[in-house]
């Protein structure tokens, strides 16, 4: 009986293998849709997108994207190639599960569209070149920190400066600023400052008195949450590249909107400045 069973199973596998030769060794799935956001934002999310395996076992999956922007909307085409190679089981499963695979793939791309369209909308970057003629004094704290603790470092610095200002009856005449002297993959050299009316004497070793001298700048307003600021920096950098300007120092940000008074991040405004020749 065992011998007969082994013979039958051998014949079955041979027939299955021969039959699988007539099944396609690859399958392509395509999905095209229009996303209500610009191509830069769509590209950023596409780069983060993880498809995961559509089948329950390893299959070579390759996905290609095509983006076309029109009036701040993006046509996105996702083309997925499933390579079954010469594995009979993969060919069989792929062939008979094609309809289910198409539904699953379509649902994953639809979820990407929903994610992107639910992101806060950022206004188009309007870049300007101007001259700042006023000397601005400010009190600041500077430190080099790991990127992992960047989320709360500004608040701690501002709290200490404000405590010093309250104790010495010092008032501010402009929005708080942050200067990024250095930014790498691991560390950030950051300086948080609060502008004041005039120069004063400092009796705190951790707080500095600095000034921003008159200078030409390239500037733009970032609208929205802070975690989307890199998009506005990208717009400024592109403008400077096209206009061939020379940056003379580190950029700084001025926080026009106080998050304590305005809780909705979509209403926040942050001015970004690059000093230039």
pLDDT below 70 — which residues of the chain? Answer: 1-24, 53-59, 85-92, 94-96, 120-124
Spell out the domain ranges in the chain: 18-117, 128-276
How confident is the model over 126-165, as pLDDT tens digits? 899 999 999 999 999 999 988 777 777 888 899 999 999 9
| Helical packing angle, 98-117 and 88-96, nearest 10° | 70
Structural Rg of the chain based on CA atoms: 29
CATH level 2 (architecture), domain 128-276: Alpha-Beta Barrel (3.20)
**pLDDT tens digits, one per residue of 58-97:** 667 788 999 998 877 899 999 988 777 666 666 667 666 7
CATH numeric code, 18-117: 3.30.530.20
């Amino acid at each position: 009986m065992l011998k007969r069973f082994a013979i039958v199973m051998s014949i079955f596998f041979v027939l299955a293998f021969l039959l699988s030769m007539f099944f396609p060794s690859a399958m392509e799935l395509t999905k095209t849709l229009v996303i209500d956001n610009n191509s830069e934002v769509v590209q950023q999310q596409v780069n983060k997108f993880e498809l995961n395996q559509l089948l329950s076992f390893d299959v070579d999956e390759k996905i290609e994207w095509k983006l076309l922007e029109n009036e701040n909307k993006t046509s996105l085409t996702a083309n997925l190639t499933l390579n079954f190679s010469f594995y009979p089981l993969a060919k069989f499963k792929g062939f008979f599960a094609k309809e289910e695979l198409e539904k699953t793939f379509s649902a994953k791309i639809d979820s990407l569209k929903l994610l992107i369209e639910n992101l806060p909308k950022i206004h188009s970057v309007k870049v300007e070149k101007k001259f700042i003629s006023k000397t601005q004094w400010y009190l600041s704290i500077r430190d080099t920190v790991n990127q992992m603790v960047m989320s709360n470092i500004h608040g701690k610095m501002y709290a200490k400066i404000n405590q010093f200002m309250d104790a010495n009856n010092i008032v501010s005449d402009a929005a708080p600023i942050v200067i990024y002297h250095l930014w790498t993959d691991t560390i950030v050299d950051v300086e948080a400052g609060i502008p004041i009316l005039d120069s004063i004497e400092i009796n705190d070793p951790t707080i500095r008195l600095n000034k921003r001298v008159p200078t030409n700048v390239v500037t733009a307003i970032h609208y929205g949450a802070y975690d989307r600021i890199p998009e506005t920096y990208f717009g400024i950098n592109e403008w400077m590249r096209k206009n061939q300007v020379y940056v003379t120092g580190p950029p700084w940000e001025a926080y026009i909107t106080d998050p304590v008074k305005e809780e909705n991040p979509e209403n926040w405004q942050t001015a970004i400045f690059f000093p230039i020749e």
